[in-house]
Amino acid sequence: MFKRSLSAMSKNIGRRLDGKVCVVTASTEGIGFAIAKRLGSEGGKIVVSSRKQKSVDNAVEALKSHGVKDVIGTSCHVGNSEDRKRLFQTAIETFGRIDCLVSNAAVNPEVGSVTETSEKAWDKIFDINVKAAYLLSKEVKPFLQDSNGGSIIFVSSIGGYQPFDLLGAYSVSKTALFGLTKALALEVVNDNIRVNCVAPGVIETKFSSALYESETAKETTIQMIPMKRLGKVDEIAGVVAFLASDDASYMTGETIAAAGGMLSRL
């Protein structure tokens, strides 16, 4: 039954983002790519990015082949200020405006609990997962102020609510994004900018492969999920498309969990 509703969902994609310029970080594969594809399928003009130019070029071609008409890309390591500047400049030079930022990049260089995390890994995690999200928001704000209804969407994690044992610092960084969402939403509410967040559960991507690649790991992971299955990237992309669209016009400062029923309260 669930399979049927998923295919119905993908056939039912509307044009809620017609003409909206959407910049998506870390969007050459996984959840980010699915978000770029979904926003583009709904009429958005898309700017894809990630660290490697080759991956960006491939993603642009792949999106075009999926029927996304207006799509460009540039390399952008979100921790690099020149790269972030170029990302927004590229969007403005090509499309003349920015209406939506999806801040999706994150890293987890070490596996371990909070106190097992090295200081170096802690700094890297917070630099990319939190500080870069704050800087991207700060830098995109003037462009969104010129939009007729701007939107920022952070990609957090269900681990931000219920920390994963072996992803201690990463989980804390994802909790921080809930706070950033709330604080920023209030700050920019009079600029006609909405700020929301999505907290994915365990989604089948390269990033989470350690959680499902072996049969034992998969069994342990599935046991944590009330729906007893992993999530698909398109199931996160749909939530982001909703948040970016006017269907969410009265929503700001909120986080939507899409995690197969996993605990989503702090």
Q: Which residues bind ligand NAP (CB under 6 A)?
A: 25-26, 28-32, 50-52, 55, 76-79, 104-107, 128, 155, 157, 200, 202-203, 205-208
Q: How far is the CB of 191 from ligand NAP (least distance, A)?
A: 25
| 31 in Cβ contact with 257 (< 8 Å) | no
Nearest to 78 by CA among 22, 129, 144, 150: 129
Q: How far is the CB of 3 from ligand NAP (least distance, A)?
A: 20
Nearest residue to ligand NAP, scored by beta-carbon proximity: 30
Place of tokens 């927004």: 88
Distance CA 181, CA 152 (A): 9
| 190 in Cβ contact with 136 (< 8 Å) | no
Nearest to 261 by CA among 216, 234, 236, 228: 228
Phi/psi region, residue 97 (left: phi>0; alpha: psi -120 to 50; beta: rest), is beta
Q: Which is nearer to ligand NAP, 11 or 133 (CB)?
A: 133
Q: Which is nearer to ligand NAP, 141 or 232 (CB)?
A: 232
Distance CA 231, CA 209 (A): 12
Q: How far is the CB of 145 from ligand NAP (least distance, A)?
A: 25
Neighbours of 250 (CB within 10 A): 7
Q: Which is nearer to ligand NAP, 96 or 179 (CB)?
A: 179
Q: How far is the CB of 207 from ligand NAP (least distance, A)?
A: 3
Say which amino acid occupies 157: S
Q: How far is the CB of 104 from ligand NAP (least distance, A)?
A: 5
Residue 212 is a catalytic residue:
no
Q: Choosing from 134, 170, 212, 250, which is the catalytic residue?
A: 170
Q: Which is nearer to ligand NAP, 186 or 227 (CB)?
A: 227
| 158 in Cβ contact with 215 (< 8 Å) | no
Reported in sequence order, the residue ranges of 99-232 that DSSP labels E, i.e. its strands, are: 100-103, 150-155, 193-200
Which residues are known to be catalytic?
170
